[in-house]
Chain A
Amino acid sequence: MNRGIFGLLLVFVFTRSFAELPVETILEVETLPASYPDTWVYAHDTNFFALNDAKVVVVDVAAQNRNYKGSIPSAHFPSFLAASTRPELYVAETVHSRRLRGERTDLISIYDKANLAFIGEIVLPGNKRGMIVTHKNTLQFLDNEKLLLLYNFTPAASVSVIDIERREILSEVSIAGCTMIYPSGQRSFGSLCGDNTMLVSHLDENGKVEKQARTQAFFDADVDPVFAKPAVIGGVYYFPSFKGMAQPVDMTGAKPRILAAWSLLNDADKAENWRPGGWQIATAHEVSHRLFTLMHPDGTNGSHKGGGSEVWVYDVKTKKRLNRVVLKEWGVSIEVTQGEQSYLVVTNGNMELDVYSADSGEWLRLIGGKAFEMPMIIHASK
């Protein structure tokens, strides 16, 4: 064949097979749905190595790729909470006017779920916001998400009550000697106290404290402290203890009912000294009334934050263990998504997320690639 004709044929074949790419538009920005699927979680990255530059990452744990959906910033020992009745996300944080120095401002920053864009703020007076390594129960809703409650610590402990629909601060409730916010009835919340009781604060319709009452002592912090990070099933809070008890507190009524504690351990477990340990050490799949706890063997005084090699799954109705999930990597924090097809999400020792089937315990995927520095708390989308 003539070389010239052959060359022309080649050019023809090439141009037919590899058509020129179309011109693309610039300035495209992705958006998210206003309501997230139940396979999405919020990974709260405390970023201990640059604490004033933390973040919350929205992650689809069911997706093999494109599972990092976006993020919002959160400064210095922040708290985070997502609304389910409106498309808003809340970050309680503290900033200084000159980054690390200057005037301190505590605020609730509000982001829109669809754009992850900043849409408003509530400035909090008095420099009172409690700063603690991220806990879920430092920022909670009450009264069908009409009220937002924020934990303060100066070290005087109190709770700010905020009308989040009007974005107005309503009151401050002293919880001296106590900590955290455990929502109970329509307008009341509990706080765990240093004298081994729970203080219950009842609010009136204006968000002012109406009355406060204490339960009897129901744990012994000197012998076997309960973790301040419970899992909730049907309004019953399950507080694991350092030595492996589950202490249920029924918060559905006007007054908490302290239910009988039961052991997470059988005799063989006790012989091996299994205990709960890690950061977020307990979570639940509510509709199937399953409690999940992060466990480690050879427990000692001080091992309660050390993480665990297994996640144990219980039916809280029968108080029987259903499964032992042997983790692929050492676990630090756990969460379970709430859909019918539920996922167990584990912050592992490499500060990545391991995703397992919450039913079978089968490991499904790793979400890593330096997405997070320290995702200490995972919030399932609700």
Chain B
Amino acid sequence: MYWLDKITEKFSRRVAKSSSRRNLLRKIGLAMAGGASLPLLPVARAAGGEGGSGYHGVAPQTSGNPVADPGDPASCDYWRYCAIDGFLCSCCGGTHVSCPPGTEMSPMTWIGTCKNPADGLNYIVSYNDCCGKTSCSRCLCNNNLGDIPPYRAFSNNDINWCVGMDSTIYHCTTSIILGIATEKS
């Protein structure tokens, strides 16, 4: 999401001002901010360093099965995040399939269909929210592949799915495989 990239870039730039090691990044960031309408994802990626997650100060992770489930769960580009909207639980004390300590996972959720680059199969992914603590605020990520407005509620990622929990306060979002989609996207 271009504007989210831009926020990420802005934060990167703010940190970069206090770090001479990131002077080059700062120059790139300022140059791109001048060309206002450019997507800033490359800058956000650069903030994480080579092979990094795209979030400044967030080191890469693996899924635990890098061959069959490739990519970095602390990166907005991880294949399962194709329709996610929220803070990545992987960056918040949880993982891509589990909630951080002290939160509760909402059983109700919205569903995306994402292609795993390792096997070329489309998987149904459930984006369960973790609830009960204030916004994690780390690794904000919004991808909208197949997202439909809330008249198709279970295909919409704008709804707070903590709505049925004891505490409705949203914290972060997981991405859990429910199965293989029968139709190719």
Q: Which of B36, B152, B163 is in CB contact (< 8 Å) with A329? A: B36
- Interface contact A100-B132, CB-CB below 8 Å: yes
A33 within 8 A of partner (CB): no
The reply on B95 being an interface residue by CB < 8 A is: no
- The reply to whether the CB of A192 lies closer than 8 angstroms to some CB of chain B is yes
Contacts of B158 in A (CB 8 A): 132-133, 135
With A and B bound together, what is the CA distance between A101 and B165 in angstroms? 10
CA distance A349 to B43 in the complex (A): 15
- Residues in B120-176 with C-beta less than 8 Å from chain A: 132-135, 137, 140, 142-153, 158-160, 162-164, 166-170
Instruction: Tell me, in angstroms, the Cα distance from A349 to B144 when the chains sit together.
Output: 18
- A132 in contact with B150 given A51-B170, A104-B168, A305-B1 (CB within 8 Å): yes
Q: B135's contact among A50, A226, A304, by CB below 8 Å, is which?
A: A50
Q: Is residue A144 contacting chain B, with contact meaning CB distance below 8 A?
A: no
Interface flag for A306 (CB, 8 Å)? yes
Closest CB of chain A to B14's CB: distance in Å? 12
In the complex, whether B7 has a CB less than 8 A from a CB of chain A is yes
Question: Is the CB–CB distance between B149 and A226 below 8 Å?
Answer: yes
A350-B152 Cα distance, complex, nearest whole Å: 30
- Which residues on A sit within 8 Å (CB–CB) of B6? 330, 349-350
Contact with B along A220-247 (1 / 0, CB 8 A): 0100011110000000000000000000
B1, B82, B142 interface centre (most CB from chain A within 10 Å)? B1
Complex formed: what's the CA distance from A227 to B137 in Å?
27
CA distance A191 to B151 in the complex (A): 8
Task: List chain A residues, Cβ under 8 A from B82.
Answer: 302
Evaluate whether A153 and B153 lie within 8 angstroms (CB atoms) in the complex, with A100-B132, A100-B134, A302-B144 already known. yes
Select one of A51, A135, A155, A327 contacting B153, CB under 8 A.
A155
Specify the chain A residue showing the minimal Cβ separation from B5: A349
The CA-CA distance from A302 to B2 in the complex, in Å, is 11
**Choice from A131, A221, A306 contacting B2 with Cβ under 8 Å:** A306
Contact between A153 and B159, CB atoms less than 8 A apart:
yes
* CB under 8 Å from chain B, chain A span 168-216: 177-180, 191-194
Contact across chains for A179 and B150 when beta carbons are under 8 A apart: yes
- Is A77 an interface residue, CB under 8 A from the partner? yes
Size range of the chain A interface in the assembly:
35 or more
The answer on a CB contact under 8 Å between B36 and A328 is: yes
- Number of chain B interface residues as a range: 35 or more
- CB distance B169 to A96 under 8 Å? yes
**Chain A residue with Cβ nearest B10:** A350
Task: Give the Cβ gap from A124 to chain B, nearest Cβ, in Å.
Answer: 13
**B36 neighbours in A (Cβ, 8 Å):** 309, 327-330, 348-349
Interchain CA distance A147-B2 in the complex, whole Å: 39
Assembled-state Cα–Cα distance A51/B136 (Å): 10
User: Residues of A contacting B170 with CB < 8 Å?
Assistant: 51, 76-77
Query: Does A301 lie at the interface of the complex (its beta carbon under 8 Å from any beta carbon of B)?
Result: yes
Q: Which residues of B contact A50 (CB under 8 A)?
A: 134-135, 137
Cα–Cα distance between A155 and B109 once the two chains are bound (Å)? 10
Query: A307 and B168: CB pair below 8 A?
Result: no
By the criterion CB–CB under 8 Å, are B149 and A227 in contact? Answer: yes
Q: Which residues of A contact B145 (CB under 8 A)?
A: 301-302
Given A77-B160, A180-B150, is A306 in contact with B134 using a C-beta cutoff of 8 Å? Answer: no
Chain B residues in 8 Å Cβ range of A94: 168
Distance between Cα atoms of A351 and B7 in the complex (Å): 8
With A100-B132, A104-B168, A133-B158 known as contacts, the answer to whether A225 contacts B153 (CB < 8 A) is no
> A293 at interface (Cβ–Cβ under 8 A)?
no
| Cα-based distance from A186 to B164 in the complex (angstroms) | 34
A130 to B168 Cα, complex, angstroms: 11
Complex Cα–Cα for A178 and B10 (A): 38
What are 11 A-B residue pairs whose CB atoms fall within 8 Å in the complex?
A49-B135, A77-B170, A132-B150, A132-B158, A179-B151, A278-B3, A296-B2, A301-B145, A307-B1, A328-B36, A349-B7
8 residue pairs, one from A and one from B, having the closest CB atoms: A349-B6, A309-B37, A131-B160, A228-B149, A302-B144, A349-B3, A302-B145, A133-B158
Q: Which residues of B contact A (CB under 8 A)?
A: 1-3, 6-7, 10, 36-37, 82-83, 108, 132-135, 137, 140, 142-153, 158-160, 162-164, 166-170
